[in-house]
Structure 1
Amino acid sequence: MNVHTQKFLLDGPVGKIEVACDLPDGLREHGSAPRGIALVAHPHPLFGGTMDNKVAQTLARTLVQLNYVTYRSNFRGVGATEGEHDNGLGERDDLRAVLDHMRAQPGLASLPLVLAGFSFGTFVLSHVAARWLEEGQALERMVLVGTAASRWEVAAVPQNTLVIHGETDETVPLQSVYDWARPQELPVVVIPGAEHFLHRKLHVLKRIIVDAWH
């Protein structure tokens, strides 16, 4: 993603998990305190999804700009992450292992937490967040892009979740996201003319997130 990305392997439930961590400029150069920590979940691994997917990278880059220490990890069977695709079930345990690692780092344990996902990653992350909140853990915010509501059972999310979707998404029709969001009374931010992977619209995605934080 950039020259400041640190990659490492973490012990997970079924083997190693490949993780990338990006540090905000202030923390890296001056040791100033970050605003919080963030975890980004990538799209479907059986369709080429990795933590280096452009939407996942944009989410990570934007959160770093907002001064969050930001982690991404590859799902099972992707890159150097061991194990086999588990339809979003084992992947929840893997993301939780990454979360626990993040919380164990010096100075990060009590910082606000943001969870951000794209496509399949929104499905996995929604269930990780639900369990996290059931345990009484704090969550500052979620950012869901291309929420995979037409393909998987995406769990209910907190009221301040930022839901962003492409108007012409052919993979996950916008209507299915409305149907998922309606019972929760969740607003949906629609990017006009954008399809699922937000080609040529990533700058708009970034702007929506930054604006939501100000």
Structure 2
Amino acid sequence: MYNIIVKNTRGKGIQALAVSAYADKQGFYGCTFIGYQDTVLANVGYQVYGKCYIEGATDFIFGQTARALFSQCVIRVSGDGWVTANGRDSSSNPSYYLIDKSSIAAASGYTGVGKSYLGRPWRNYARVVVQRTVISNVINGAGWAQWSSATPNTDHVSFQEYGNTGDGASGTRASFSSKLSGAVSPSSVLDGDTSWVDMSYVYQ
């Protein structure tokens, strides 16, 4: 899918998706997805979001088993919340989100500073990497958050960063997150098969 704008105008208060991606080998290029809670459901199969605009506040990139690459995306936060909520629930679950060479900042009209996070674990094996990305002060210095105080879900999470810049890339990160020593290969998230991906669009 190329150059399509999808906007869910429901706003605050309830899950209101802009896209629900349930099939294998899906590519979204130059698309815009706008919502508030749960904007992009990256749920099943291999997925690529190349040079897309994604906006939301509460868990607005989420899902359970997909391996999804977000490359050179413009990610904008429109309210206090969490960019990702990965639902990986076991060590055998393939789910993996990689945000690479992107930017994360406040959406137009939102002035919150340090009130949002790169992610929180919907399930306790959540796996998300944010790398080579410009992160503004919209993101709290802890970077990552628990699911809730009653159900932290942090015992087996893999929340990692590498080579990020910007005011939101520094600070005392959450103890259950870590720094990588090198960048994750984007193709590895897709298990090495990029034959179906418009790589010239994503990494031109």
* Length-normalised TM-score, structure 1: 0.36
Q: Which has the larger radius of gyration?
A: 1
Give 1 or 2: higher strand fraction.
Answer: 2
Give 1 or 2: higher helix fraction.
Answer: 1
* Length-normalised TM-score, structure 2: 0.37
- Tell me: higher relative CO, structure 1 or 2? Use CA pairs within 8 A at least 6 residues apart: 1
